[in-house]
Each structure stands twice: as C-alpha cells, then as structure tokens.
C-alpha cells in the first residue's frame, strides 16, 4: 500500500495537469445576507440526528503540501449515504406545512405532521434525481405516509434505483439526461402531486430555496466544531457542484461571515455547467450525455436560483475527469476513508487545481493554509469501489489514519461507518 506519508507517492503522473481550471470572472462582493438557518433546529429535532464528523487528515495535508486538510464527511446522514436528506427533508416539511396553512416559527414534529396530512391525501411527492435527492425525497414520503414517484435518467445504477425503491417509491426510468428528468417531473405538478426539486425554474423557486437552506446545517456544524477546537476557519473550501444548490449554501454561509476564504467548485469535465456558465457570463447548457462516474454531479444546467450566489461567490472552478475521481478515492482510502466516486470529487478537484500554474501563482505558498474538503457521499456501489480501490470499504476503514476534530488525539480511531445503498 502506498502511504500518504510519502509525498506525492499516491499520485499518478498520468492524471497530473488533467483538470481544467478557471478563475471565475464573475466573482464580486455583494451584500451577503445571513442565510436562513431555521432548518438547523429542524434537523436537530429529527429522530436519529447526529452531526457528521469533521476529520483532520494530516497524511493528505503532507501529500498536498498544505498546512491542514479537514474533511467534512457527509457519508452518513440519518442512515443515508449522502447529505441530500438535509435539503429534501426541510423542503418537504416546508411545502407540506405551507399546504396545511401552518405558519409561524414553531416547528411541528414529524408524527404530528403525518397525522395532520390525512385530509390532503392522496398526495404524492415527485422528484427527478440521479440518485441521492430522489432517495431522500422517497425517505420523507415513507416517513410521512405519502406516495412517491421518482424519475431517474439513463445511467443511474441498479444499487441507487434499489435504494429508492426500498423506501416504497415508484421509480420511473426515463430516456435522457438528468435535465430531461427534471423537465418531465415538472410537468407532473398538480393538486395531488408536489414536485420537490433541488433545481429551480421560472415560477418554481420556493422549494429549491428551502433545499438550499437545508444544507446550512453542514456549515453550521463545521463552524461549531472549529470554534471549540482552536483551529481557525479554513482558508480554502472545496465543494462538488451539480446544479449548484449545495454550493449556493456554501457561498452564503461562508460569505455572510465576512471571512476571507477562497471557494473552489468541482465538476465533471463532461458536465461542467457552472464553469461553462461563469466563463460565458450567463447560464448555458452543457448538453448530454453526461457519463461521469461522479453520478451526483452529472447535471447539464445550473439551477437559476443557485446561480445568483454561485456566480458571484465562487472564486475558482475546476472540472475533472473520472481518472482524477478514482485517484482521489484511492487517496482517501489510504487514510482510511471509504468514499465513492462523487464523494471523492472535492479531493480530485483540489489535486487538479494545485497542478495549475495560474492557481499556484495566485495562491502562493499554502504550507500554513487550512483546506476544507466537503466529502458529500460514501460508497454507493461496493463492487465498483473494490475494483477501483482494490480493497473493500471495511478493509479501508480498518486502516483509518484520521482523527475527529475536537477529540483527544489519543482517542483517534476509525470513525466512518461502512455506507452502502443497502436498505438501512
Ligand atoms: C453526492 C453528491 N454530491 C454533490 C452533489 C451536488 O449538489 P448540487 O446538485 O446541489 O450542486 C450531489 C447532487 O446530487 C450529490 O448527490
């Protein structure tokens, strides 16, 4: 096994310099309003809530030549293998309480909400997905006793589809891309079908705005741990980008602090819709097919709602090929983190951007800098994982060389549970 302690030992020369790096020409300072954070309390009150871990990975820092690498590991949220339930749960809750005419600041717990929904039934939640968002919407429908129809594009693997079906949802496989699935889902909206989309379109903004607000929980948890740990706020934050909803939340949470931080967005090279749009100065489509193994990021059109903040708040974009994602998976495995293709994108992006001359000239010496990587998903396909990494997720966990931030280092131990899309 190549050790992370050997500088650059794990990086293959073939993948070097492969990423396409752009400095965002639209970046500007605006009045960054505090993001809505009511979702944080909502999540804390949900059964099974636990903050995800923030990990310190010194082996990664050594290899990347930076002071510190922190990993926010969204590999298990409410027993699901990604962060998406944070947005879906809050958006579903808000849509249903709005239909019931329940207003005000006080939160209704899920059992009470379920009981109050009876007069609205039959009611179905509808979503388009390339996996995680649909799984999360299906989980909410299951918890609330509602029907659920999930539209998936070509290329979504059997394990992801199985996870959605395991929640009792109907899965409709459509011919076309994720963006085609979004268009078809939008047409199903009526009095008995609530479309819960993480991307917006004209006249459909309230639910995608709540999805974005739901992701604040991730950033609030990071802040809370860092405040108590003596580690300062990160200098660079790297996050993966699909339609841009997660990144919109990252931008508004970080920028509204007024903190000086460099934000980097990572996309697959065939689905780099935010990178292409910022370079064009307006929203553009990147037509499919979008075949990347970073399935959660295979989106050809930015969310117009997310675009407003992402276009102004992200500093750099980098688009990477699947070879980089696989290399990042192996790198994360070497510090004991079993992370799938999409989840590894932030590390892949940082590896790619740090090879780029314009980035290096602009950023200078990073040997004292703290980098925060948002790892947004665990392992969703254990067979594919083993063929890429050469070990099973369980074998990888057994070799963990990370510590949970805020812990006594003497207590370091493997902290990630094996995550698959198996029925929890
Ligand atoms: C695991 C994972 N990471 C990142 C993203 C990107 O999020 P967004 O589409 O909000 O940009 C997704 C989207 O589905 C995802 O599933």
| pLDDT < 70 positions in the chain | 1-17, 400-404, 406-424
Choosing from 246, 248, 347, 419 the residue with most ligand 1 atoms within 8 A of its CB, the one to mutate for a pocket test is 246
CA–chain centroid gap for 239, Å, is 7
Distance 408 CA to ligand 1 centre (A): 32
What's the token pair of residue 120? 């609205």
- Specify the pLDDT at position 192: 96
- Specify the pLDDT at position 157: 86
Distance 5 CA to ligand 1 centre (A): 30
Choosing from 345, 376, 378, 420 the residue with most ligand 1 atoms within 8 A of its CB, the one to mutate for a pocket test is 376
Query: CA angle, corner 346, sides to 344 and 347, nearest 5?
Result: 70
- Specify the pLDDT at position 383: 93
Distance 72 CA to ligand 1 centre (A): 15
| Residue ranges lining ligand 1, Cβ < 6 Å | 82, 84, 132-133, 198, 240-247, 296-297, 299, 342-343, 376-377
Structure-token match 């314009």, residue found? 358
Does the domain at 85-211 match CATH 3.40.50.700? Answer given as no
First to last CA, the chain: 31
Question: Of 274, 264, 281, which is closest to residue 362 (Cα–Cα)?
Answer: 264
- Specify the pLDDT at position 15: 53
What's the token pair of residue 53? 């871990």
- Specify the pLDDT at position 403: 66
pLDDT tens-digit readout, 233-244: 999 999 999 999
- Specify the pLDDT at position 317: 97
Atom number, ligand 1, closest to the C-alpha of residue 244: 11
Distance 246 CA to ligand 1 centre (A): 7
Distance 307 CA to ligand 1 centre (A): 15
Rounded-to-integer distance, Cα 198 and Cα 129, Å? 9
SS3 147: strand
Contact 412, 402 (CB under 8 A): yes
3.60.15.10, 3.40.50.1970, 3.30.70.270, 3.40.50.1100: which CATH number matches 13-82+215-411? 3.40.50.1100
Contact 241, 212 (CB under 8 A): no
Number of residues in the chain: 424
pTM of the predicted model, to two decimals?
A: 0.91
Task: Tell me which residues are annotated as active site.
Answer: 84, 130
- Specify the pLDDT at position 104: 73
DSSP 102: -
Choosing from 152, 200, 240, 329 the residue with most ligand 1 atoms within 8 A of its CB, the one to mutate for a pocket test is 240
pLDDT tens-digit readout, 333-389: 988 899 999 999 999 999 999 989 999 999 999 999 999 999 999 998 899 999 999
CA distances from 267 to 94, 302, 373 (A): 30, 12, 14
- Specify the pLDDT at position 404: 66
Contact 148, 141 (CB under 8 A): yes
DSSP 319: E
Is there a shared CATH topology between the 13-82+215-411 domain and the 85-211 domain?
Answer: yes
- 263 HSE (CA, 13 A, CB side): 26
Each domain of the chain, given as residue ranges in start order, spans 13-82+215-411, 85-211
């Amino acid at each position: 096994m190549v050790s992370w302690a050997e500088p650059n030992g794990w990086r293959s020369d073939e993948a070097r310099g492969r990423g396409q790096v752009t400095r965002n020409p639209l970046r500007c300072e605006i009045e960054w309003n505090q993001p809505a954070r009511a979702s944080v309390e909502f999540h804390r009150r949900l059964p099974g809530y636990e903050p995800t871990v923030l990990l310190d990975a010194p082996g990664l820092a050594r290899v990347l030549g930076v002071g510190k690498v922190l990993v926010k590991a969204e590999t298990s949220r409410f027993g699901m293998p990604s962060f998406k339930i944070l947005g879906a749960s809050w958006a579903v809750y808000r849509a249903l309480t709005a239909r019931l005419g329940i207003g005000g600041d006080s939160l209704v717990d899920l059992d009470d909400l379920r009981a109050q929904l009876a007069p609205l039934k039959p009611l179905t939640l509808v979503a388009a997905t390339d996996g995680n968002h649909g799984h999360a919407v299906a989980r909410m429908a299951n918890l609330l006793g509602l029907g659920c129809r999930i539209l998936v594009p070509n290329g979504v693997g059997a394990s992801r589809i199985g996870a959605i079906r395991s929640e009792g949802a109907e899965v409709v496989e459509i011919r076309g891309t994720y963006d085609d699935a979004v268009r078809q889902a939008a047409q199903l909206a009526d009095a008995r079908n609530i479309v819960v989309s993480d991307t917006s379109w004209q006249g459909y903004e309230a639910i995608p705005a709540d999805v974005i607000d739901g992701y604040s929980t991730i950033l609030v948890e990071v802040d809370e741990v860092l405040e108590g740990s003596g580690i300062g706020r990160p200098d660079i934050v790297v996050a993966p980008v699909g339609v841009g909803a997660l990144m919109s939340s990252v931008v508004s949470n970080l920028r509204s602090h007024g903190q000086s931080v460099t934000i980097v967005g990572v996309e697959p090279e065939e689905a780099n819709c935010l990178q292409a749009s910022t370079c064009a100065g307006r929203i553009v489509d990147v037509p499919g097919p979008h075949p990347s193994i970073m399935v959660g990021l295979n989106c050809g059109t930015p969310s117009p709602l997310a675009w407003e903040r992402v276009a102004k708040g992200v500093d750099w974009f980098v688009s990477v090929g699947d070879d980089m994602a696989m290399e990042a998976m192996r790198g994360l495995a070497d510090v004991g983190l079993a992370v799938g293709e999409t989840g590894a994108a932030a590390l892949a992006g940082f590896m790619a951007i740090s090879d780029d001359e314009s980035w290096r000239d602009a950023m200078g010496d990073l040997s004292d800098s703290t980098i925060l990587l948002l790892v947004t998903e665990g392992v969703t396909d254990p067979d594919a994982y083993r063929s890429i990494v050469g070990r099973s997720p369980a074998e990888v966990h057994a070799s963990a060389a990370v510590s949970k931030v805020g812990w006594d280092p003497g207590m370091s131990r493997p902290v990630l549970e094996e995550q698959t899309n198996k029925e929890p």
